[in-house]
């Protein structure tokens, strides 16, 4: 419950509250697993030690994610590696979170080729997990890296594909669809298609404003700002 509370608060921008949730979870986990958890451990076919490591792996994945939002590559890397070491191979959703964060770390360090490779690996994990949200998220990280590397056509294709995927699955009016649109708008601006760029960027902001994810909202404002600058609309 502490971990899920931390995730919920983090997504809404309450970093201090999220940190308190993670610290509370760690306090319990570092004191050992007691008999009240035996039934849930057996249901996952995990020993008490394996169950404890799994939950510590989830905490590490969350810490890698929070460090990623701060752009702190020095914090991301050890937490992401710890998460990948501790999490079971079938814990795909949390492993994908750690892998995506690791790609972010390389991007923050300016090593775009390493970021690209790490993000491709993260995408494979996300696809195996079968979670549409994390598949979209991983693809968008890939599109951002491609844009930053000047590979604009590839970035454009990813945005088009992911918007189609979101629409096909009833997610065309969600915050993540807004993030796709915002990133797509910025790519179009760099391709000098400014009319499409401003339409996509404004649509993206409209959707992310209702999505509840602070990172996506902040990113969408940045994308719109850059498109406006490209248009000379200071």
Q: CA–CA separation, 173 vs 206, rounded Å?
A: 10
DSSP structure class, residue 233: -
A 10 A CB-CB count for 111 gives: 14
- pTM of the full structure: 0.75
Q: What is the dihedral of CA 170, 176, 177, 183, to 10 degrees?
A: -160
- Helices 132-148 and 152-168, axial angle in degrees (round to 10): 160
pLDDT, averaged across the chain: 90
**pLDDT tens, position by position, 49-91:** 888 889 999 999 999 988 888 888 899 999 999 999 999 988 8
DSSP structure class, residue 32: -
Q: Phi/psi zone of residue 45: left (φ > 0), alpha (ψ -120 to 50 degrees), beta?
A: left
pLDDT of residue 40: 53
pLDDT of residue 34: 57
pLDDT of residue 154: 96
Residues of the chain predicted below pLDDT 70: 32-44
Q: CA–CA separation, 20 vs 6, rounded Å?
A: 7
**By C-alpha distance, which of 153, 143, 144, 63 is closest to 108?**
144
């Amino acid at each position: 419950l502490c971990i899920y509370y931390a995730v919920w608060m983090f997504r809404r921008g309450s970093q201090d509250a999220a940190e308190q949730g993670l610290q509370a979870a760690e306090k319990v986990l570092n004191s050992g697993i007691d008999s009240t958890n035996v039934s849930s451990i057996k249901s996952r076919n995990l020993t008490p030690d394996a169950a404890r490591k799994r939950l510590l792996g989830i905490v590490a994945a969350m810490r890698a994610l929070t460090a990623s939002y701060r752009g702190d590559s020095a914090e991301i890397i050890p937490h992401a590696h710890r998460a990948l070491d501790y999490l079971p191979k079938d814990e795909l959703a949390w492993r994908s979170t750690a892998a995506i964060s690791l790609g972010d770390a390389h991007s923050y360090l300016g090593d775009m080729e390493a970021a690209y490779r790490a993000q491709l690996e993260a995408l494979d994990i996300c696809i195996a997990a079968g979670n549409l949200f994390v598949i979209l998220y991983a693809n968008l990280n890939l599109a951002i890296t491609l844009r930053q590397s000047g590979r604009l056509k590839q970035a454009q294709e990813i945005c088009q594909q992911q918007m189609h995927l979101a629409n096909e699955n009833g997610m065309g009016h969600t915050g993540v669809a807004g993030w796709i649109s915002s990133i797509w708008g910025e790519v179009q601006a760099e391709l000098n298609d400014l009319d499409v760029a401003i339409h996509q960027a404004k649509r993206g902001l409209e959707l992310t404003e209702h999505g509840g994810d602070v990172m996506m909202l902040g990113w969408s404002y940045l994308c719109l700002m850059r498109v406006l600058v490209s248009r000379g609309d200071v």
